[in-house]
Structure 1
Amino acid sequence: MVSMSLDSVSLSQRGERGVDGQREDLVQPSPWTLKVDEAFIIPISGERADLQHVAKHLPTKEDKRDFMSTGLGSVMIIRYADSPVGPYDEILFIPGAFVSPAKAPYNIWSDRRIPRIFVSTEESLRNGRRNWGIRKELADFQFEYSKTESRSVRVKIHRRYGGECLLDASFSRTWRFLPLITCGVPDFLMPPIVERAIDEEGTPVAPEKWFRVFLQTCGMGGIARVDRIHESPGEHFPDLRKLGIREGTRCLAAGGTMVFKKPQICARL
């Protein structure tokens, strides 16, 4: 892989992504409204995670410097039934709170970052990088729904180019779903995502600037469970077990509408 500088991180370039990278005219500016068919949101805590393993998945010097080793984070697996670039699947890792380049005070309600994220389409990858600075890479997703238990699903995720397993895990859902709305929720309860601005090739935009984006969701959510972790190697995506996630861990299953707003531009304080 040819190195693209983002403080020591390498992001794939179009020429490395085969037929995906040859696509043209994929620009879809923010804001985006997305329909979430299904999502599993597994909460994690910096205090309970293996911090040496977490550090391995903080790819930039700025990530390592700013991570506070505390605050609520998550692993999310999301199936988007519709978006401005069509349906796609996604897995992402938010380790917890980061010292914010956008605002103070610096505490557990500080901003969040997404140091690891994989999506299933080139359109999502390029626009995610360009629109919000989100460092997306490509993966292939398989959702295997149980023929005998309608509430169970096994999710297999592998890197698109390389084929390495990112995660193979089974989940089960309850039938009890309640409204899930974050519209109007204050910052300290729903911290924004703040990422350094990059272009679609992953190159930092000069002069340095940061994108700060707020998310809104509206839908239904219920309790789910991690039934089994079949494989979670931890090489290209964190090992769930080293994040404190075990078989039997409770999580949130959700669906509905998500809005990625147009980002605010801010400079480091």
Structure 2
Amino acid sequence: MQDSTAETATDGWSSSLSTKDDRGVDGQATDIPTALNPWTLSVGSMYVLPFVASRSNARQQAALRAHLPSDADRADFTGSGPGFVMLIRYTDSPVGPYDELLLVPGAFTPPSSSTPIAVEHHIQERYLQAHGLLASRRVTRIFVSSEASLRNGRRNWGIRKELADFTWTQQPSPSTWSSLTNVVVKDRLSGDVLCDVTLKSVNTWRVPVRMDWLQGLALPPLEERVIDDQGLPSPDNAWIQTVLGGTLRMQPASMVVTAPSFTTVHEDKFPNLHELNLWPGVHCSGIMTFTATKTQTFPPPKPCMPRDRSQ
């Protein structure tokens, strides 16, 4: 593989979203084109590294809960269920090529029992409230390498993108059956390292997988609160649902387990991957689509009434 030509940076956030003025040179651009929903993207390389969030794993919980940026995220996170880290190189998109690093920390309680997820998929509320595969998912940390992706992603889907530098470097592999790639993600303004990981993919037949089939089987649409172009959240009860589609070809992949690097990883901006108990995952390429199915305003939750114990 090649060294990255991806550019730009992140203004890391831990409790609040960045504003346009925080983004340095990138935030000064005034000629960002508008690329409306839906999007079709060409995936040159995508690593998906899954894990299972466990409330009994204190170190993992601390690493995940440090990256829940809003009161709603902190209130709705179940602390359990499947999550994943993704590193992606989009070779083409409506805003051109860009790179991406994201975190889905696990399962969330939907914002309302009448959420369209339950209505459209005819799923009983008790299944959505739990930590299983059908529970709601949210992207709580996401860094991209272009401001065009950042602004349009926030505008179209409420995805709270930040900016980062990405470097992808192919490394010598001890076997012809595998490939090694080192990926370093840095904050442009400070140079802080957000992620430094070596990934191994197994050179086998690539298995085609339709994302819409997977969506209907296991994963509901992602849910995000609406935010404006400055990164400011709208009222808490405004939500966007995003459905993934397309076809990817997959082969086995994993993170290479090595001694901790001398490079300091800034865990306030992205979790230390060694704390997440990552499972072997997949390396993919192909086509993906992102479609905002609807924006819905949910009523505020009803207050819990004290139980009458006299009955």
Q: Give me the TM-score of the superposition, normalised by structure 1.
A: 0.90
The structure whose residues are more often strand, as a share, is: 1
One of 66, 91, 115 as aligned partner of 2:140? 115
Partner of 2:274: 241
Q: Where does the alignment leave 5 or more consecutive residues of structure 1 unmatched? A: 1-5
The answer to which of 103-112 and 152-161 deviates more is 103-112
Cα 1:207–1:239 shift into 2, 3 Å = closer
The aligned runs of 1:47-126 (5 Å cut-off) are 47=54, 50-101=60-111, 102=115, 103-104=117-118, 105=125, 106-107=129-130, 108=132, 109-126=134-151
Aligned amino acid, residue 238 of structure 2: K
Structure 1 residue 228 displacement after superposition: 3.9
In 1, the alpha carbon distance for the partners of 2:201 and 2:45 equals 11
Q: CA RMSD in A?
A: 2.1
Structure 1 residue 263 displacement after superposition: 3.5
One of 14, 24, 28 as aligned partner of 2:20? 14
Q: Where does the alignment leave 5 or more consecutive residues of structure 2 unmatched? A: 1-12, 119-124, 300-311
In 2, the alpha carbon distance for the partners of 1:110 and 1:148 equals 38
Cα 1:128–1:39 shift into 2, 3 Å = same
Aligned amino acid, residue 80 of structure 1: Y
2:271 is the counterpart of 1:256: no
In 1, the alpha carbon distance for the partners of 2:255 and 2:49 equals 9
Cα 1:256–1:237 shift into 2, 3 Å = same
Q: Secondary structure of the equivalent of 1:151?
A: strand
One of 153, 173, 179 as aligned partner of 1:151? 179
Structure 1 runs (4+) greater than 6 angstroms displaced: none
2:203 is the counterpart of 1:175: yes
Structure 1 residue 44 displacement after superposition: 1.1
**Cα contact 1:132–1:263 (8 A) shared by 2:** no
Aligned amino acid, residue 261 of structure 1: T
Q: Give me the TM-score of the superposition, normalised by structure 2.
A: 0.78
Aligned amino acid, residue 74 of structure 1: F
The structure whose residues are more often helix, as a share, is: 2
**Cα contact 2:211–2:248 (8 A) shared by 1:** no
Q: Secondary structure of the equivalent of 2:154?
A: helix
Identity of aligned residues (%): 37
Aligned amino acid, residue 181 of structure 1: R
